[in-house]
A and B are shown apart, each in its own frame.
Chain A
Amino acid sequence: MKLARRDLLKLAGGAALGTFFTPAPWKALDDVSIWTQNWSWMPVPPRGEATTRFTTCTLCPAGCPVRARCIGKQPVSLAGVGGGLCPAGLAGHHLPHYPGRVRGASHRGTRCTMDAAVAAVREVAKGGRVAILDQRPGRTASLVYRRWLAGQEGGLYLTPPAREDATLVALGGGLAFNLDEARTVVSFGAPLMEGWGSMARVLESRPKFHLVQIEARQSRTASMADTWLPAKPGTEAALALGLAHLLGSQDAGRFTPEYVERITGVPAAQVRQVARRMKDAGPAVVIGGGDPAGPFNREEEQAIAGLNLLAGAMGRTIVPRAEVPVPAGFDKLAAETALDDVPDGGIRLLIIDEAASGNPVPWSYLKRKLAPGAMVAAAACSLDGYASHADYVLPAPVYMETAQDVPAACDSPAATFSMAPGLLAPPEETIEPADFVLRVAGEGGTLAELLKARVEAIHKTRRGSVVTYADGTATPLAEMASADDLAKAFKAGARWTDAGTSSEAPGIAFAAVDAAAIERRAASAQFPLALVPFGWRGAAGPVSPIFSKLYQESRVRSSEGEARLNPATAREYGILDGGLMVVETSCGSQAMTACLDEGVMPGVIEAAIEPGTGVLEICDVEDWCGWRTAPARMRRA
């Protein structure tokens, strides 16, 4: 029998069809996909005997205790101690492998030595007008910055305005929230239920208080609040004055509930109800800001913070808190300067500590504060943030690579101190931002030595107690024989808590609120569309690839360049779900992908801040240091 071409084709066709009815192609596909996970250059956890070590998470101000499962010295999984850990904390040990990691010092994109960077920065610093932007104030590294700046001509110590303790700062500082005593909590956009203060403490106190969330966005905190008042973006301070009016303030005479309703869109009856609750179901506390995406401006924060004085929060739900003892040699420290107070073009040298990811400040705003030809040096672990704008990029270590201290969260009524020991060796060229400043200052010493001195200073007080993470036992500090014992306890995982909390009412003479300015702003907030950025703790810093991939795919996290719109707003502008659109503000424009969501207030564009997306760069910070909302327009791309 002679084989024809047609016969072979029939044979091949039958074979091809048959193959699809066998497990061979599907199994081979599965195996090949597994094979690709095991390529030699992929970082994989080592094999070996598991040991347990303890540390403190430094990725956000909460400072949660962490149990690290290690193989050899390599942490391979993280978990909470006596409770959970947030997704960012669970994936914290991935950060050393972050793809955009800065590996060496560079000058405008060209590799340079650390000595060259130190010499260049030192030279510029001689001319004065030096500023340091500290993304995580309150650490021992912060003391190093403030001491050096105190000795510099025109030295400015800057902190991000969008801080969780913004209300406490507006009240004068040296204070802490005591949610355990609160029975009514009025939150102006503070993300209480999704990352604010210490989550463990907030969740423990939550059953005891009624939560009123005032926020345009239907955030998770708004969804979990007992009362949600969706005030129009930019009108929150008017609502604060409305509450102040009902609580008897003379400053807020015009802000009757009906007037507030016209401005904010919140029904007058609800405003009255909240005011009544603050009076009758106290102690109450009012928390403003804390949203990583943007702060209130100074007047707004003053109006919100002032409610605490009217509600009798001082000494009950807001208490004075002592500072963690400071070692000798830190007597003269530069005070914190609000970015708003820095004149445009007022900075010749800006050093940014971006190692501890904090709440971002729009680069466009920082740039305005720089003098022509000013130098920027950014200590960063990735090129996603300010490092991309810096003249000098200094490779900073990431979480768990060097020893760090963790200051008390804003909701800790007592001073606390804990440490995150370095579990991993950092890449060779990395430098602690504080060590870089010490080298520039020519002061000698290292952050590690200063941490040791701080532990000694704490030990000298003989106050408070130390709780070890491994077994939860509390040991009075007075029973610890030496500072070395205390240092060993911190290294093994422990937290020192100062003795007792103060219930003394701090004597605060509050500055009068400029009601007229707030009224003007609220009136100007009646724009057709408002761009409202939002974020979560650490959103501007590097995140684990697993965190980005899995949580974005499951829509737990918003994807980069995504704008959420109400379907009615989208219809009005002819924008489809998943369609491309351009958002324009007075500061610029950005292309985004539309994501329609009934939970978004009509007329509002919600956009998530992410490393590198730059949505903050188009938010208007023209005449006030706040960028929670920006007038915007949009069109289909």
Chain B
Amino acid sequence: MIRGKLFFAAGLLASLSAGWLGFPSMLYERVPQPLDFNHVAHTEKASMSCQDCHSLKEDGTFSGIPKVESCAACHAEPMGTTKAEKLLVERYVKPQREIPWLVYSRQPQNVWFSHASHLKLAKFECTECHGGHGKTRHLRPFERNRISGYSRDIWGPSISRIGAGRRPGMKMDDCIDCHRANHREHSCIECHK
């Protein structure tokens, strides 16, 4: 009888460990960014603001990550001796090749998200969704979901999505929760164009 309980408990513990510890590490692969970008160096040393690179265009669309020609305005020649600086100039700026950034917050292609309405109408700060990304010295690796292909940031850092703060991720449920909390009307077709 005790022997049976022990085997049962062993199976239970093994699956709990696998599910809580092994599964998350197996699910995501860590992919390095093509370039180690230093946000702090740009905002503090070069006195740039977030909007200098990530701005809303005249027609209200969000510019996203700047193209390499924007980088070339300052980095036509290396501005330091770091490995990242050398890589930027030699691999991307001089051959005018776009940097294949891995976007942490990239949504599925059937989702339409308006930065303009969230920034201008809802008066959101960038940090409310993107956290302290603008104050980092190094880019963290992109954690790619091996099944869906999306970033871990979409699901959120906590695998259980329990107790991870007001906005644990960038899934549809998170959008809906926030809209409900702020008493904003929403319908399917607003985002699913």
Contacts and interface: CB of A to CB of B under 8 A. Distances in A.
A and B held together in a complex: yes
Interface string B8-27: 11111111101110011001
B163 interface: no
A18 B12 contact: yes
Interface in A550-588: 550, 554
Given A11-B7, A11-B8, A22-B19, A34 B148 contact: yes
Interface of B: 3-5, 7-16, 18-20, 23-24, 27, 59, 61, 108-110, 112, 145, 147-150, 155, 159-161, 188-189, 192-193
A77 B111 CA distance: 10
A91 interface: yes
A77 B117 CA distance: 15
A481 interface: no
B20 A546 contact: no
Given A10-B4, A32-B147, A34-B150, A18 B189 contact: no
B159 A27 contact: yes
Contact of B11 (A10, A22, A32, A93): A10
A515 to B, nearest CB: 48
A27 B23 contact: yes
Q: Which of B24, B61, B147 has the most CB of A within 10 A?
A: B147
B16 A22 contact: yes
B142 to A, nearest CB: 16
Q: How many interface residues does chain A have, given as a range? A: 35 or more
A483 B8 CA distance: 84
A11 B23 contact: no
Given A14-B9, A15-B11, A546-B188, A44 B110 contact: yes
A24 interface: yes
Interface of A: 6-8, 10-19, 21-24, 27-28, 30-32, 34-35, 37-38, 44-45, 47, 50, 52, 69, 76-78, 87, 90-91, 93, 546-547, 550, 554
- Tell me if A's interface is mostly helix, strand, loop or mixed: helix
B49 to A, nearest CB: 22
Contacts, number: 119
B61 A52 contact: yes
Given A22-B23, A23-B160, 8 more contacts: A11-B8, A16-B11, A19-B19, A23-B23, A23-B24, A24-B18, A47-B109, A554-B188
A98 to B, nearest CB: 16
A77 B189 CA distance: 10
A331 B35 CA distance: 69
A52 B58 CA distance: 11
A52 B59 contact: yes
B11 A12 contact: yes
Contact of A38 (B10, B108, B161): B108
A550 B189 contact: yes
A167 B24 CA distance: 67
A37 B189 contact: no
Nearest to A553: B188
Contacts of A44: 109-110
Given A22-B16, A27-B159, A78-B193, A10 B61 contact: no
B96 to A, nearest CB: 16
A399 to B, nearest CB: 15
Nearest to B192: A546
Contact of A76 (B8, B112, B148): B112
A548 B24 CA distance: 37
Nearest to B5: A10
Contacts of A52: 59, 61
